[in-house]
Structure 1
Amino acid sequence: MKDIEIKGMVSAHAIIAITILLATLAPTLFVGNYSVYGTHLVWLYSCCSAVAAVNIALYALLGVSPTPKRHTLSYKVTKLFRSFMYFGFSCLIFHGIVVLYGAPLIESALETFSFAVLLSTFTTLRCICMLGPNVQAWIRVFSKNGAMSIWDTSLQITTLCSVIGAWFGAFPIPLDWDRPWQVWPVSCTLGATFGFVMGLLVAPSWIYWYRKHLTYKSK
């Protein structure tokens, strides 16, 4: 494992983390009375859009994205369509799971779906960027000893941290504190975002610390 690969990961993860900070601050220039709590959906979609754009650009430039098997226009269009389709399915699946865990079914449906979009951006979109629209590759990465590169390992860590962060974010909602950040789904989206950022910070450090013990199968 080359240290230059880890340095590249550190740079990429730092850029994504800074993007989240900028996406949080940027709406203040365009939206009156903007706040993460008061205009939560504005912050959420600003964050989703920025993270999605930077992820797609970064992993394409770093060569992490899988090389196209064919260069025909029809193949590229099909791959793009599958990517959008997988992302959409991911949003619906996360929405369903969140509802099953107690989120409002009808009331606040837009907020619930928006939360699902945020989770999909932190998890599924990164799978698409790193592995392509290939469900078999996704299953391989998240199976035991399925990682084939440090990028696969980072994907495991950031995905796990995002989901755990969202889960922990739900704990304060039932408490009778009457705080603005307890309104659904503010604490969950903040928890998922905090977990994602922590995953970005932890992944390179963990990989560097245990690099001598990490062995990857050849692709």
Structure 2
Amino acid sequence: MKETELRRLLAANLLCAGSIVLTALVPALFLDGFSVLGTHLTWLCVCSVCVSVLNVTLCLILKPSPSSKRSSLSNKISRFLKCCIYFFMSCILFHAIIVLYGAPLIESVTETFLFAVLLSTFTTLQCLCLLGPNIQAWIRVFSRNG
């Protein structure tokens, strides 16, 4: 990788880390009685939204992947819908994995699903921003011999 790309990647990761720290501090200014432990559902939502907005904004600004030759509006809409479906599928998959590792299924389904959304935000959303909904690219990146 070029040195400029490494600097951009470092800056993007530092911004993501900074957004996580800010999600623990800033909501306390706007919400009465906010604490990460006391209102953890609110914090999970705020953290997921902040990291998602930051990832998508950085993706649009830095443009890490070259634009495809087909740039029609219908292609962009179908690509966006595929990305949304992949993100939702990853949330469901993470939710199932968390439940298999012992999280209560019925008693705290909201907490478990929001935690799955947070995990998907940190993992799948960044990959969707970089690779898009191209299954072949995902296989090449994540396979052992790719």
Give the alignment's TM-score, normalised by structure 1.
0.63
Q: Which residue of 2 aligns with 1:162?
A: none
Q: State the 1:23 CA deviation.
A: 1.7
2:107 is aligned with 1:107: yes
Q: Which residue of 2 aligns with 1:67?
A: 67
Q: Which residue of 1 aligns with 2:53?
A: 53
Q: Which residue of 1 aligns with 2:43?
A: 43
Q: State the 1:2 CA deviation.
A: 2.1
Q: Which runs of 5+ in 1 are unaligned?
A: 147-219
Q: Which has the higher helix share?
A: 2
* Separation of aligned partners in 2, 1:65 and 1:16: 19
Q: Which runs of structure 1 show a deviation greater than 4 angstroms over 4 or more consecutive aligned residues? A: none
Q: Which residue of 1 aligns with 2:118?
A: 118
Q: State the 1:145 CA deviation.
A: 5.2
* Separation of aligned partners in 2, 1:83 and 1:66: 17
Q: State the 1:83 CA deviation.
A: 0.8
Provide the secondary structure at the position in 2 that maps to 1:106. Answer: coil
* Separation of aligned partners in 2, 1:68 and 1:56: 18
**How many residues were matched structurally?**
146
* Separation of aligned partners in 1, 2:7 and 2:128: 22
Post-superposition CA distance 1:131-150 (Å, at most 9, x none): 0012221221112253xxxx
* Separation of aligned partners in 2, 1:69 and 1:94: 33
Q: Which amino acid aligns with 1:80?
A: F
* Separation of aligned partners in 1, 2:66 and 2:2: 20
Q: Which residue of 2 aligns with 1:133?
A: 133
* Separation of aligned partners in 2, 1:98 and 1:51: 21
Note the aligned Cα RMSD (angstroms).
1.3
Asked if the contact 1:27/1:42 (under 8 Å) is kept, the reply is no
Q: Which amino acid aligns with 1:114?
A: L
Q: State the 1:68 CA deviation.
A: 2.9
* Separation of aligned partners in 1, 2:16 and 2:120: 16
Q: Which residue of 2 aligns with 1:87?
A: 87
Asked if the contact 1:66/1:131 (under 8 Å) is kept, the reply is no
- 1:50–1:65 Cα change, 3 Å: farther
